[in-house]
Amino acid sequence: MGRVELARTPAGRLVALKTLHSRLASDARFRERFRREVAAARAVDDVFTAAVLDADTEAELPWLVSEFCAGPSLVDVISALGPLDSAALGTLGAALAEALAAVHAAGLVHRDLKPANVVVTHDGPKILDFGLAKGAAEADGEPLTGTGELVGTLGFIAPEQLGREPEAGPAADVFAFGALLVLASTGRNPYGSGTAPQVLHRTLHEPPCLLGVPDAEWEGFLGRCLALDPADRPTVAEALEWCAERAAALPWWEEEPVAGLVREHEEATAELVAAQEEWEDEVPEAFRVPGAPGSGDVPGAPVDVPAGPVDVPPHPQSPPRRRRFLAWAGAAVTAVGGSTTAAVLLLDEGARSQEKAAPVAWTAGRTVWSRDLESSPAYGGEVLRHAEALFVRTDSRLTCFDAASGEVRWTFDDAMNIRSVRPSEDTVHVLWQAPLGSVVAALDAKSGARRWETRPLVMNPFRRSATNTPASELEGQSAHLTVDGSVVCLVTHSTPATLWEQRTEPDRRWRAYGFDARDGRPLWHRAGTVTGVPAVHQGGGRLAVATSERAVSVREPADGPLVVLRDRDGTPEREIPGGSAHPEAHPGATGVRHYPGPAAVAAVDLASGERRWSRPVGNEATVTPTATDGLVHTGDWGDLRALDAATGHQLWVRTDVRRLDDSEGTPPLVSGGLLYASGSDPSLPADSGRRSTGWGVHALDARTGKLAWAVPVPRLSRVRSAAGGGLLHLCVDRTLLTLRGPGAA
């Protein structure tokens, strides 16, 4: 509708000056809309709304002067604080409800409450922009929106505003109020992101996503605020009372870091105005703006920045500081009624080049579906993607989901201590610990029906019974399950890590078993030495058993011999001294695989066992085992890197993101040309001092390292993840989320 500029009254008070665009001032429809905006804003009087000080709606260029609000936007505040807890959310909700009560008391409905229309000052949140407000009963004349015309902001528009004859009553503001509080407490819009039709469809036909709100009470309250039927929503008075009961004793805008952010904006505004007064005489006359039209109360509007390059005389003093630059960039100036931002300061190119980069725009992905789990896979479980299925394993349950829709296909929970899952073609092999030893079962991948199941290992016909046998002849508590072609292999072992384990599992040897993959029939058994087995690999008709007499980690790989057996009959083929560091390198293996070491990653030719190259990295780095599109990716606690798979040369490095799943030994997750990482709010400048990798998910272009899209995910820790088919699946504690980039089907 117009332009908003920072101005000063004759008494020296800073104000926001809004003028209607000249091309619209002659349009009776737009002029009438401006009249109603002024009337609406003047009728509202509350500490949490911006006050209108003066206006002239009949001037040649109609204008309005309102209180200037210096402070960060609500979006910036949430980025600094992270998702709000119950007390902070109650404080915010009470302030916004009080402001809406004042709006409704004036007989108005705001109709466009959203984060962009809330700025946080030292006095608290201020609701801005009454440009879409209208009389609750349309008593002041004909409506300015025609039948079927959509007014509002996606994700915050009440369902009743989406009908053919929208009737936006006070309940519509309660709906937007609820959506805003969900965003403030979770970092996500309750109706997701995507195209306008997608968001509108969810608003009308799907329940809001309240995953991540502080607790069940908030979930119930916000669910009522977002009810489809306006009659089911609480009134603003009820919302105010509910939020006030849970509000913190001290408002969070009076504490750090928000108080500091507000001070920065106030100081930036003061510096900006001082610089403007000093430079006023140096700005070419052609770029000056005359006084506020139609009134002598606001003399001399600030300088506007013309389009295109401008030659500005260099300023004689030192370049402006960072805060001044942010003010110039529009980050510090927010004004009531603003559908545009203020531009009040000119900087020469030399000064601009010495400033640090401002926040950059970024593309948001979206949540496709989410589910709550009964228990978390973060402690010994896993998340696997195979074909169109997603498998989530916890200690006592295996669940198969449809990866695209989140529909549960089947569950397997009639066995305790599920240890391992290996999907292959149309079969899923599962290993669990039974009282008499490990058991392997084959499940139908589509239905979960059990096809076959082995007897406990102590009853295996290829070894003698465990009855009246010494403890050293029993199975160890650790096991590895592998499947390749027609043979299923199982290796058990014991690696005592405590005195109790040493006493209860003395001198137990590793044991290997082979089963027919078609019916589970036992094929063979082989007993090894008294040693641990950190890894096994099956391929090329061989089973390779890596052995080690000590516990191993990413920083200290196995150093024992690699025992190679024929997987069809268990016949020993050879033993490779020191070969356990590279268990996939054995006779019958082909290709190149990448391994982490104490301070380097290495590329190893699997057929020969020779090292092709080695690259120094961090001590806790992991590496993608195989190359993707000629690239290898490594990650440790402080960075992510891309290496050329042929030479090991570094192509790029990012120190502001880290692996999405940071459990020991987990490599970076790469799928479909994207590298998934944990990162900070990409809207913040790199040197803001408020960056936190726990903000959410970053999807990086695997070849360039540049951000493709991002999604905020609250409490991003203890993550287990998988990807495939353009989808990212991650389990955060007991919440299973599926994310997708923008524009994807």
- Give the catalytic positions in this structure: 112
**Residue 714: cis peptide before it, omega within 30 degrees of 0:** no
| Tokens 């902001």 sit on residue | 153
Residue type, 63: W
Torsion of CA 175, 180, 185, 187, to 10 degrees: 120
Rounded CA gap, 560 and 548, in Å?
5
3-state helix, strand, coil in the chain (%, to 5): 20, 30, 50
422 to 442, 445, 506: CA distances (angstroms): 10, 11, 30
| Stretch (H or E) spanning 222 | helix 216-225
Q: Please list, in sequence order, all residues whose beta carbon lies within 8 angstroms of the beta carbon of residue 413, skipping any fewer than 6 positions away.
A: 396, 397, 398
Residue type, 521: R
Give the three-class secondary structure for 53: strand
Q: What are phi and psi of 409, to 5 degrees?
A: -80, -45
204 to 172, 201, 210, 232, 584: CA distances (angstroms): 14, 5, 16, 15, 53
Rounded CA gap, 613 and 601, in Å?
8
| Tokens 């978390």 sit on residue | 376
In Å, the largest CA–CA distance within the chain is 105
CB atoms within 10 A of CB 382: 18
Residue type, 645: A
Record the tokens describing residue 486, joined without a space. 């027609």
How would you label 100-126 residue by residue, b for 16+ Cβ within 10 Å and e otherwise?
bbbbbebebbbbbbbbbbbbbbeebbb
Record the tokens describing residue 255, joined without a space. 């504490």
Asked if 173 and 109 touch (Cβ cutoff 8 Å), the reply is yes
Asked if 582 and 594 touch (Cβ cutoff 8 Å), the reply is no
**SS3 track for 155-215:** CCCCHHHHCCCCCCCHHHHHHHHHHHHHHHHHCCCCCCCCCHHHHHHHHHHCCCCCCCCCC
| Tokens 């000119």 sit on residue | 346
Q: Is 669 exposed, middle or buried (0-12, 13-18, 19+ CB in 10 A)?
A: buried
Q: What are phi and psi of 279, to 5 degrees?
A: -90, -5
CB atoms within 10 A of CB 361: 6
Asked if 634 and 621 touch (Cβ cutoff 8 Å), the reply is yes
Q: What is the DSSP code (8-state) at residue 696?
A: E
